[in-house]
Amino acid sequence: MHEPLVFALPADAGFAGRLAEAAGAELGQLATHEFPDGESSVRLTTDCSSRDVMIVCTLHRPNGLALPLLFLADAVRRAGASRVSLVAPYLAYMRQDAEFHSGEAVTARSFASFLSRTFDWLVTIDPHLHRIRRLSDVYTIPAVALHASSDIGEWIAAHVESPVVIGPDAESAQWARGIATAARAPWLVANKVRRGDASVEVTVPGLEEFRGFTPVLVDDIISTGRTMMAAAAHLSGRHSRQPVCVAVHGIFAYGAYDGLVAAGAARIVTTNTIPHPSNAIDIVPLLGRALRAGSTLVQIPTHSQ
């Protein structure tokens, strides 16, 4: 029996090569082409008949990736793959999880429906589960959520002196708790009021008990960075040490990285679910272990994340 086969679109080729090695899989080859009218094509050059195929695609800026991903999955299926899975280190469209304004699309559900029709199972890292409590609430295929908390906690324990882990809002409590446990550090959760994409206010009750500690702001996503910036701004002047900012997924829209530096972040660190110069925590080993167990992972009921 052949080992699993990993394919990736060009942007993820380097990550996929390392992941294939970590997962004991073969890296499949393909060629892509973009036509003058903007349409695209994909051609597999590795035989995948009867192979267990994993397609690696981190879904940052998902709109331009969705169709090439569909074409690749269809090509793999037509070529006779026995199973087609999606490895999405960052899973997009998890935050529009309700109709916030009348008539609005609930894109988390639409996107989940699209991926559920395209793949046999998926694995991702720390999806934004909030009002949608489990991936199985919206995904109809087995969907496994892995957590980077241990890797992040170990990084904090190794690099930050006397850390106190702070989640910048109630939703981040799940990440703050897991990361602090792995870092063997105390943790707090801030109060956040969001008035718009770029208008956020954060306060940190209980901070005064942690003089002499280094604040480590942790969240699942840094997007506009406004949440982290507001938390850093609140700490400035109230705490003697500048905060370290850590996130699983670093999107850094609208100059968020520079904004965080200006807000007083001593260091900004992310995992490599989305490529960025701040990547300091490698999640390839975490994914590799999961994919090695892939045949059993899909037996796990999806509500067990």
Query: Least distance in Å: CB of 240 to ligand R5P?
Result: 25
Query: Least distance in Å: CB of 96 to ligand R5P?
Result: 11
- Chain positions 69 to 128 lying near ligand R5P, rule: CB under 6 A, are 95
Residue with Cβ nearer ligand R5P (6 or 59): 59
Query: Least distance in Å: CB of 170 to ligand R5P?
Result: 9
Which of 127, 169, 179, 207 lies at the binding interface for ligand R5P (CB under 6 A)?
169
Contact mark string toward ligand R5P, 212..231, x via CB under 6 A: -------xxxxxxxxx----
Query: Least distance in Å: CB of 254 to ligand R5P?
Result: 9
Contact mark string toward ligand R5P, 27..66, x via CB under 6 A: ----------------------------------------
Residue with Cβ nearer ligand R5P (196 or 237): 196
Any contact of residue 12 with ligand R5P (CB under 6 A)?
no
Residues touching ligand R5P, count (CB under 6 A): 14
Which of 149, 172, 271, 273 lies at the binding interface for ligand R5P (CB under 6 A)?
172
* Secondary structure in 3-state letters for the chain: CCCCEEEECHHHHHHHHHHHHHHCCEECCEEEEECCCCCEEEEECCCCCCCEEEEECCCCCCHHHHHHHHHHHHHHHHCCCCEEEEEECCCCCCCCCCCCCCCCCCHHHHHHHHHHHHCCEEEEECCCCCCCCCHHHCCCCCEEEECCHHHHHHHHHHHCCCEEEEECCHHHHHHHHHHHHHHCCCEEECEEEEEECCEEEEECCCHHHHCCCEEEEEEEEECCCHHHHHHHHHHECCECCCCEEEEEEECCHHHHHHHHHHCCCCEEEEECCCCCCCEEECCHHHHHHHHHCHHHHCCCCHHHC
Query: Least distance in Å: CB of 175 to ligand R5P?
Result: 8
Contact residues: ligand R5P, CB under 6 A: 95, 169, 171-172, 200, 219-227
